[in-house]
Amino acid sequence: MKITELEPKQLWANFASLNEVPRPSKKEEKVIAFMVAFGKSLGLDTYQDETGNVIIKKPASAGMENRKTVVLQSHLDMVHQKNNDTVFDFSTEGIKMLVDGDWVRADGTTLGADNGIGVASIMAILQSKDIAHPAIEALFTIDEETGMTGAKGLKGGLLS
């Protein structure tokens, strides 16, 4: 079975796409560009703050405009560890994912599910056209694994 055949399909497709992008801590330039392009491809208000965090804002669906804004957050970087016998460069290579029975795992490296599955989930919510929702502000922070740089550098006033 392929990753993209798992349910919910959009979630796993997003996770697979995200894992194609190198995203080790302190070297998030490629995943930042990926997320900015993702938000803009949906026609959503998307920007990168001075720290490197990505913020994507989705307006409320019809009838939900008077509800409080929901903020969703996940971090873009991942723990980059590999098996001793694995040749892999986290700065240039995407994660090779496998379905192994009931498990999704990586081939010789960490999977990137912390917090890639959170990023993929938020991406699916932003893509959805059939979930009624208040305004959504998605915050994707950088360098959580080694310094909390994105969270610490977030300036007040960028989110509701």
Catalytic residues: 77, 144
Angle between helices 9-19 and 113-127 (to 10 degrees): 130
- Strand ranges inside 30-116, DSSP E: 45-48, 54-58, 70-75, 97-100, 103-106
Helices and strands (H, E) in the chain, number of each type: 4, 6
- Cα dist from 12 to 18, 36, 59, 70, 86, whole Å: 10, 20, 24, 23, 25
Query: Which residues, 6 or more positions from 137, have their beta carbon under 8 angstroms from its beta carbon?
Result: 55, 56, 57, 58, 69, 70, 71, 72, 159, 160
Distance CA 139, CA 151 (A): 10
